[in-house]
């Protein structure tokens, strides 16, 4: 999960040996040595850490479902990029687990969104993973590596053993880095949304917030885009998190539904945000 230490960090350490040496050499700059202006140089602020919820009782992984209901009409569209570890042969045979038209539509409509991606999806579509992860309109988060369930009896998904839950999440972050994704958010979505106390305990210490939802779009395996749109529009409230999918083979009408959902919610006064904004609003109130 933690990005490799870059060479510039080591250079910065030498810079910290003394302010006088910094002023003389221009350490940390790429141009001419620093000019003396008689005023102290402004301190550089550290990059802000994405907002996360505090761990639950007993240090369990915190779970986020929706943002504040009374702080503006905001809504977060989230998209699960699902692909299980054993679906490589199906992709090789021509099945599409990606949905580039959906991403293009979100961009054209200027809709911020959070994509929960499996590591296996990133391995299969590294160029798309890199593109999503580098676009400031989106944020990329973890949906496990294998898309195996973290509990038994979860929509027929294969199950990951308790001793491999943590490594399955870490392996997804590794897959993102190998695909060229420079930054992935510290958010995790359980495959199928299935979790229990054992799963929350297994992921404690990773520093992630588990993100669920309060609006089910019903786009999985749906064939009626209008029905999906109606279900979302009927369910959204201020602070809602909507779960949808970025997988053509399993959710073929999502892109068409989004073309209806977005303008209608805007007409109702809603503003689209990423999950991080909702979590930030929730932590600000706590």
List pLDDT tens digits, range 132-183.
999 999 999 999 999 999 999 999 999 999 999 999 999 999 999 999 999 9
Handedness of CA 183, 185, 190, 191 (dihedral sign): negative
Report the percent of the chain where pLDDT is more than 70: 83
Using CA atoms, how far apart are residues 69 and 12, in angstroms rounded to an integer? 43
Query: Which pLDDT belongs to residue 244?
Result: 98
Question: 108 with 80: CB under 8 angstroms?
Answer: no
> Domain 57-285: which topology?
TIM Barrel (3.20.20)
The answer to whether residue 229 scores a pLDDT higher than 80 is yes
Name the pTM for this structure: 0.84
Structure tokens at 277: 């904004």
Neighbours of 205 (CB within 10 A): 11
List pLDDT tens digits, range 96-127.
999 999 999 999 999 999 999 999 999 999 99
List pLDDT tens digits, range 125-144.
999 999 999 999 999 999 99
Using CA atoms, how far apart are residues 131 and 122, in angstroms rounded to an integer? 11
Query: Which pLDDT belongs to residue 7?
Result: 35
Domain ranges of the chain: 1-46, 57-285
3-12, 58-67, 160-169 — which is least confidently predicted? 3-12
């Amino acid at each position: 999960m933690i990005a490799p230490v870059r060479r510039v960090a080591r250079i910065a350490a030498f810079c910290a040996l003394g302010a006088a040496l910094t002023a003389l050499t221009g350490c940390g700059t790429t141009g001419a040595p620093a000019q003396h202006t008689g005023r102290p140089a402004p301190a550089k602020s550290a990059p802000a850490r994405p907002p996360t919820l505090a761990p639950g009782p007993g240090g369990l992984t915190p779970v986020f479902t929706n943002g504040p209901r009374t702080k503006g009409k905001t809504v977060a569209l989230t998209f699960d990029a699902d692909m299980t570890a054993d679906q490589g042969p199906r992709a090789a045979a021509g099945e599409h687990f990606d949905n580039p038209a959906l991403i293009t539509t979100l961009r054209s409509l200027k809709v911020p969104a959070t994509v929960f991606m499996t590591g296996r999806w990133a391995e299969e579509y590294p160029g798309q993973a890199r593109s999503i992860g580098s676009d400031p309109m989106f944020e990329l988060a973890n949906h496990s590596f294998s898309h195996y369930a973290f509990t038994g009896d979860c929509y027929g998904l294969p199950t990951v053993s308790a001793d491999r839950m943590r490594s399955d999440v870490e392996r997804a972050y590794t897959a993102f880095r190998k695909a060229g994704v420079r930054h992935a958010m510290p958010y995790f979505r359980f495959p199928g949304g299935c979790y229990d106390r054992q799963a929350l305990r297994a992921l404690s210490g990773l520093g992630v917030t588990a993100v669920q939802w309060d609006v089910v779009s019903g786009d999985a395996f749906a064939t009626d885009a209008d029905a999906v749109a109606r279900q979302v529009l009927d369910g959204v409230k201020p602070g809602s998190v909507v779960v949808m999918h970025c997988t053509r083979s399993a959710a073929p009408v999502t892109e068409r539904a989004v073309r209806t959902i977005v303008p209608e919610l805007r007409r109702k006064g809603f503003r689209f945000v990423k999950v991080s904004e909702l979590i930030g609003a929730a932590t600000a109130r706590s």
